[in-house]
Amino acid sequence: LIVGGGQAGLAVSYWLGRAGVEHQVLERRASLGGGWQDRWDAFCLNTPNISLMLPGMPYAGPDP
């Protein structure tokens, strides 16, 4: 059982699924993503994209 469908919970879910471990993700919000969806009105990072990518979900956008 994974409590929270934020960035960490989604990453754990990915790896458990790859390992063939049956599991569930519980998220209190209507959609996954956790606080990243509404914590900030505007948010910019100055780190390379590779440091924030979720496993299995490549992002090909530009680095800051």
pTM of the model: 0.66
Write the pLDDT tens digit of every residue in 19-33.
999 999 999 988 887
**46 within a domain of the structure (yes/no):** yes
Q: How many domains does the chain have?
A: 1
**19 within a domain of the structure (yes/no):** yes
**27 within a domain of the structure (yes/no):** yes
**44 within a domain of the structure (yes/no):** yes
- 25 residue type, one letter: V
Distances (CA, A) of 37 to 15, 16, 32, 41: 23, 24, 9, 9
Note whether 28 and 38 are within 8 A (CB).
Answer: no
When pLDDT is cut at 50, 70 and 90, the band that residue 64 belongs to is: low
Note whether 26 and 48 are within 8 A (CB).
Answer: no
> Higher confidence at residue 31 or residue 16?
16
Instruction: Find the domain containing 35 and state its range.
Output: 2-51
**59 within a domain of the structure (yes/no):** no
Q: Where are the alpha helices (DSSP H) in the chain?
A: 7-18
